[in-house]
């Protein structure tokens, strides 16, 4: 399975995220130990299998935290992510000001409740927010192609896999 296109997209997201983190650093409270957003998200097969491959290739295998409640991420141990370098895209953008289209076809802004507490929301623009829909669309298309190319008939283009399922594949 080839993950080149996914890794390229992930790297582009990381570059933009780093730029936005730098731009908003005085309003960002995210730091080591902050894990409010660490949940058992569900991800597309292209991300899931990319993470499986990366974790299988690692010498140090991640520890699973099975003492968590159902909604918490099994890779969160002592407030640290066991798969930080391989984490899904959703985890790479948390905390940032996210711009997306809501159900009424209007633009909506989302940010962690700990961040931007003393920030005028009117100051957000396309230049200083993360365009979530743009990257989600790219990820969707990559996933669709990945499923077809690898003949993964168990999945449709809309199927998502809970992160906790990674434990069964490592």
pLDDT per residue as tens digits for the range 78-113: 888 999 999 999 999 988 999 888 888 878 888 888
pLDDT bucket at 115, cuts 50 / 70 / 90 = confident
Look at residue 68 in the predicted model and tell me its pLDDT: 66
- Mean pLDDT across the chain, nearest whole number? 90
Return the number of other C-beta atoms located less than 10 Å from residue 89's C-beta.
21
pLDDT tens track for 33-47: 788 888 989 999 999
Rounded to an integer, what distance in angstroms lies between the CA atom of residue 168 and that of residue 49?
A: 12
Q: Can you list the positions of beta strands (E) in the chain?
A: 42-43, 76-77, 80-81, 98-101, 107-110, 130-131, 161-162
pLDDT bucket at 3, cuts 50 / 70 / 90 = very high
Q: What radius of gyration, in Å, describes the C-alpha atoms of the chain?
A: 17
What share of the chain has pLDDT > 90, as a percent? 59
pLDDT at 31 over 80: no
Mean pLDDT of 10-26: 94
């Amino acid at each position: 399975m080839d993950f080149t296109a996914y890794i390229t997209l992930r790297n582009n997201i990381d570059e933009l995220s780093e730029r936005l983190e730098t731009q908003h650093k005085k309003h960002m409270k995210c730091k080591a130990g902050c894990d409010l957003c660490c949940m058992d998200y569900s991800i597309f097969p292209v991300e899931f299998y990319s993470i499986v491959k990366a974790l299988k290739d690692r010498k140090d295998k991640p520890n699973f935290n099975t003492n968590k409640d159902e909604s918490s991420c099994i890779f969160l141990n002592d407030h640290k992510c066991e798969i930080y370098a391989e984490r899904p895209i959703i985890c790479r953008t948390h905390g940032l000001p996210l711009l997306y289209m809501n159900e009424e076809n209007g633009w909506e802004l989302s940010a962690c409740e700990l961040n931007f507490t003393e920030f005028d929301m009117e100051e957000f623009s396309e230049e200083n927010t993360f365009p979530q829909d743009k990257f989600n669309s790219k990820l969707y298309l990559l996933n669709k192609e990945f499923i077809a190319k690898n003949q993964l008939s168990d999945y449709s283009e809309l199927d998502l896999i809970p992160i906790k399922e990674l434990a069964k594949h490592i």
